[in-house]
């Protein structure tokens, strides 16, 4: 294998990591603020993909614009879901059985609504630039992947800004660190949770749209990505945004270079194996390792 191939794979992994981060960050917000593992994330990823697809095929709206539009739409959907369903289950500082099952039920409903509306054939979004490649020297950058990576970075930067510069962001971070203390200093838990849920779902929708530009999809689309998102947030230590970035990069690297060692058939098993390794070796995620070393020093 030549150095160029290696570089190509490295770049492919980096570009993939961007989408993975957008996909996982919504799950982290929801988990952090509410300690809910949002299994319905998979359903919203799928809906995000079809949202962009429908806008493109029926209204001729460019998928990029579609992704931008999906943010507010899914934000509102997320707030509504919180209002109607999630708010009814008791708040706890431990992930509860009830919330897991509730959102799993929602995933089932969304997925099968998908089957009802779109059938089970695979769809793909093909635009004139789908097959474009930007050549810089010996290295080829598929344009779509570059664009997707750009949008992903912009979304993450926006989130970073909101989390650190606004009242809502501070409230979110406070609740993530300590729910009770957050309440004591006057954070409106219900409203913050509702908005956080909306943001989480909005990121799921955006990620779905971005993934739809890269892969073909069916109503079953979300499942494998749900597992990946979970692996990423476990690697990142569950509640850290920096951890999400690291986790995405690790998973993307392992998956991309895994192709060299494993037949493509076994690809779905990679994410799971990584999860087991992470659980056994790094219970606190990569960040936990970092903290432990700092404590020892």
Rank residues 71 and 217 by Cβ distance to other proteins and give the closer one: 217
Task: Find out whether 247 and 227 touch, Cβ atoms under 8 Å.
Answer: no
Among 92, 115, 122, 166, binds other proteins (CB under 8 A): 115
Rank residues 59 and 281 by Cβ distance to other proteins and give the closer one: 281
Rank residues 13 and 275 by Cβ distance to other proteins and give the closer one: 275
Taking CB under 8 A as the rule, does residue 17 contact other proteins?
no
Taking CB under 8 A as the rule, does residue 77 contact other proteins?
no
Among 169, 223, 258, 288, binds other proteins (CB under 8 A): 223
Taking the complex as a whole, the smallest distance from the CB of residue 262 to other proteins amounts, in Å, to: 11
Rank residues 161 and 272 by Cβ distance to other proteins and give the closer one: 272
Report d(CA 197, CA 50) in Å as an integer.
21
Taking the complex as a whole, the smallest distance from the CB of residue 123 to other proteins amounts, in Å, to: 17
x/- site string to other proteins, residues 232 to 271, per CB under 8 A? --x------------------------------xx-xx-x
Taking CB under 8 A as the rule, does residue 140 contact other proteins?
no
Torsion sign across C-alpha atoms 286, 292, 296, 297: positive
Rank residues 223 and 258 by Cβ distance to other proteins and give the closer one: 223
Count of residues of this chain found to bind other proteins when the rule CB under 8 A is applied: 41
Taking CB under 8 A as the rule, does residue 226 contact other proteins?
yes
Taking CB under 8 A as the rule, does residue 1 contact other proteins?
no
Taking CB under 8 A as the rule, does residue 215 contact other proteins?
no
Taking the complex as a whole, the smallest distance from the CB of residue 116 to other proteins amounts, in Å, to: 5
8 CB-near residues (< 8 Å, 6+ apart): 139, 140
Taking the complex as a whole, the smallest distance from the CB of residue 29 to other proteins amounts, in Å, to: 16
Site for other proteins in 29-58 (CB under 8 A): 37
Taking the complex as a whole, the smallest distance from the CB of residue 25 to other proteins amounts, in Å, to: 17
Taking CB under 8 A as the rule, does residue 168 contact other proteins?
no
Taking Cα atoms as reference points, which of 127, 139, 138 lies closest to residue 14?
A: 139
Q: What is the 3-state secondary structure (H, E, C) of the chain?
A: CCHHHHHHHHHHHHHHHHHHHHHHHHHHHHHHHHCCCCCCHHHHHHHHHHHHHHHHHHHCCCHHHHHHHHHHHHHHHHHHHHHHCHHHCCCCCCCCHHHHHHHHHHHHHHHHHHHHHHCCCCECCCCCCCCCEEEECCEEEEHHHHHHHHHHHHHHHHHHHHHHHCHHHHHHHHHHHCHHHHHHCCCCHHHHHHHHHHHHHHHHHHHHHHHHHHCCECCCCHHHHHHHHHHHHHHCCCCCHHHHHHHHHHHHHHHHHHHHHCCHHHHHHHHHHHHHHHHHHCCCHHHHHHHHHHHHC
Q: What is the contact surface with other proteins in residues (CB under 8 A)?
A: 37, 85, 88-89, 94-95, 97-98, 100-102, 104-109, 111-113, 115-116, 223-224, 226-227, 230-231, 234, 265-266, 268-269, 271-273, 275-276, 279-280, 283
């Amino acid at each position: 294998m030549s150095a160029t191939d290696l570089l190509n794979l490295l770049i492919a992994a980096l570009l993939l990591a961007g989408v993975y981060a957008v996909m996982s960050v919504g799950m982290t917000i929801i988990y952090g603020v509410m300690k809910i593992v949002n299994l319905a994330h998979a359903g919203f990823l799928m809906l995000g993909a079809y949202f962009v697809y429908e806008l493109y095929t029926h209204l001729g709206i460019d998928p990029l614009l579609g992704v931008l539009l999906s943010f507010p739409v899914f934000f509102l959907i997320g707030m509504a879901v919180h209002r109607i369903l999630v708010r009814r289950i008791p708040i706890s500082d431990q992930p509860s059985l009830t919330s897991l099952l509730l959102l799993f039920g929602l995933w089932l409903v969304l997925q099968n609504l998908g089957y009802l509306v779109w059938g089970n054939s695979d769809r793909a979004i093909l635009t004139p630039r789908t097959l474009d490649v930007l050549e810089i020297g010996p290295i080829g950058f598929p344009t779509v992947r570059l664009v997707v990576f750009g949008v992903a970075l912009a979304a993450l930067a926006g989130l970073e800004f909101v989390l650190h510069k606004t009242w809502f962001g501070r409230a979110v971070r406070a609740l993530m660190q300590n729910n009770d203390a957050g309440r004591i200093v006057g954070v409106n838990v219900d409203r913050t949770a509702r908005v956080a849920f909306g943001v989480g779902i909005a990121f799921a929708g955006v990620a779905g749209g971005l993934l739809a530009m890269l892969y073909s999809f069916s109503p079953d689309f979300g499942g494998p990505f749900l597992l990946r998102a979970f692996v990423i947030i476990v690697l990142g230590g569950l509640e850290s945004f920096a951890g999400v970035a690291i986790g995405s990069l690790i998973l993307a690297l392992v998956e991309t270079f895994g192709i060299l060692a494993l037949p493509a058939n076994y690809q779905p098993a990679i994410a799971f194996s990584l999860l087991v390794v992470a659980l056994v070796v790094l219970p606190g995620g990569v960040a936990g390792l970092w903290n432990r070393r700092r404590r020892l020093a």
